[in-house]
Chain A
Amino acid sequence: MERQLMTGNEAMAEAALRAGCRAYFGYPITPQNELLEYMARRMPQVGGAFVQAESEVAAINMCYGAAAAGVRVMTSSSSPGVSLKMEGISYMAGADLPVVVVNVARGGPGLGNIAPAQGDYFQATKGGGHGDYRMIVLAPSTVNEAAALTQLAFDLADKYRVPAMVLADGMLGQMMEPVELPPFVDVGSLPPKPWALSGAQGREPNYVASFALDPYDLRELNRRRLARYQQIEAHEVRWEEVQTEDAEVLLVAYGTMGRIAKTVVRLARAEGTRAGLLRPITLWPFPYGPIRRLAQRIPVVLTVELSMGQMVEDVRLAVEGRAQTPFYGEMGGVVPTPRDILQEVKAHALQRGKHEAGVRPA
């Protein structure tokens, strides 16, 4: 492992190249520009294709072409640009094409601002594009993890023939941290893609399409896709737990917020409140099972997000009434301090204590 000091944007770009990514198509948007610029410089050095596209729409459709031709391909953008990519992501899901999409998310809706936010959770995990499909969504909380998850995204996208997203935010994209870079994979050693467009030489033609006019044909394609999605749900759920063993309040937070929540756990414990953290790493598939198990014995499951409350819906689905499920969020690119969240944790622990002592909550 090679250790370097890099921004999140640069780390994800370099990790992609090391994962065998040989095509990148993008469009400038803050706060992900450094990723595009890094690729402009580095992609030619590894013999890959780089195009600064005329739009995010064009960029994702260039990805469609390169993925159809069997190459590991990536695009990156930030929230408004990712909205534009949703058409192409739906088509790629429908054509069973692997692609890695990085969203260095920012404040929204609309033009919003360029500060870190988590308002794109629904778009990423609930099908931001049209139709019945799923996308693997990986949420790093450090620059080092951003690099590792970018590499994982390529492997999972190829393995299951699905689009995969790395959902970061402006803070992760811009901050510098030490990164342990993985070695370069040998592109020739990657599993072959016999379905790819390579010229119908000595075989029947390959067709890549998301089109099936007959409803029974399309149902069959969707059923096969569903079977793959179920495999992903069974095998690819990833999460991190911090001091959940004896916790009386469980924090659930991902990405940048997950990182801040770790500090909150430490501060809370220093002040006598037994807090713990579950940090989803895969947002889809979501760690419903692990949260459900913890909710059987932890009475308060507090979801903390940089949004008005999106992931909290999945947390409540996981908890299914087994515990209280309060929410704390900040919006518009405002990032709360660990102390802000600590107040919430303590308030809920206190309320819980009163409740157990027979005092009705105010």
Chain B
Amino acid sequence: MRSSVENMKPVFVRPKSLSDKKFTYCPGCHHGLITRILAQVIDELGIQERTVMVAPVGCAVFAYEWFRCDGVQAAHGRAAAVATGIKRVRPDLVVISYQGDGDLAAIGLAETIHAANRGEKISVIFVNNQIYGMTGGQMAPTTLVGQHATSCPEGRNPQEAGYPIRMAELLATLEAPVYVARLALFDPKHVLETTKAVRKALTYQVQGKGYSFVEILANCPTGWRMSPVQANKHIAAVVTKAFPLGEFVDKG
């Protein structure tokens, strides 16, 4: 069995901006993939030494430790406010807020909308997996109609629980944001497109252009009771119907 990489050139190596820590995520979870994409873009833009990662409460609570960048852990839902505080006093830093759907679209909705509306020069990475993963699979503001969760065991009933919130479309109604997009990760092509969107978002921040928001449709194999491969197929077939992919704002 050939295992030597001598005489070969690297096609894909671990980004330098990633720390050595092993992710605490479940097998197949897209959080790890998004973390890798961020680290790769940080490497490409050469901003590792001036990036600050703002981690949420939720499955990504350790997000500040995955990077070889300064990091801060915010209270549940408050990441955009914390990012605002950092960026306003240190505009030279690249401030990235990494948040899940419960954090960003439920408890932190006010902070999310107002940071966007002020045009804070930060980048928000929104991981939309339609469920509260860390707490065991409860209904999220983004849970699909009919989707089962531990706090809606019969499936989300829109008569009682309303409909999934489309954050990208909602923020796209505001004047200030310079970039608002929704991406997915269910196959290599979409992984590359997500990478491109993250690159654009961080580039706009580096250029001082303004607020950027990248919503990423992510899986939660554990919470959805699916295998990782099934979960990815579910995103392609079902989730993208409720959350259309695309760039909603691009003022770059």
Contact = CB atoms under 8 A, between A and B. Distances in A.
B39 to A, nearest CB: 13
Interface stretch (B30-38, B71-79, B184-192, B228-236): B71-79
Interface in A55-104: 55, 57-59, 61-69, 71, 73, 87-88, 91, 95
B64 A207 contact: yes
B85 A206 contact: no
B26 interface: no
Given A65-B82, A207-B71, A211-B61, A51 B88 contact: yes
Contacts of B52: 69, 197, 199
Contacts of A55: 110
Contacts of A63: 85
Nearest to A50: B88
Contacts of B87: 65
Given A23-B89, A95-B73, A199-B50, A64 B78 contact: yes
B73 A197 contact: no
A199 B93 contact: yes
Contacts of A201: 49-50
A200 B89 contact: no
B101 interface: no
B89 to A, nearest CB: 4
B81 A53 contact: yes
Contact of B73 (A53, A59, A208): A208
A205 interface: yes
Contacts of B81: 53, 57-59, 61-62, 64-65
B130 interface: no
Given A209-B64, A210-B73, A64 B110 contact: no
Interface residues of A, number: 40
B84 interface: yes
Contacts of B61: 211
A58 B110 contact: yes
B74 A69 contact: no
A25 B85 contact: yes
B48 interface: yes
B111 A207 contact: no
B84 A200 contact: no
A54 interface: yes
Contacts of B64: 207, 209
B114 to A, nearest CB: 4
Contacts of A222: none
B65 A69 contact: no
Interface of A: 22-23, 25, 48-49, 51, 53-55, 57-59, 61-69, 71, 73, 87-88, 91, 95, 197-202, 205-211
28 contacts: A53-B81, A54-B110, A54-B111, A62-B85, A64-B78, A64-B85, A65-B83, A65-B87, A68-B72, A69-B90, A71-B89, A71-B90, A91-B74, A91-B75, A95-B72, A95-B73, A198-B93, A199-B69, A200-B48, A205-B19, A206-B70, A206-B71, A207-B71, A207-B73, A209-B55, A209-B71, A210-B73, A211-B61
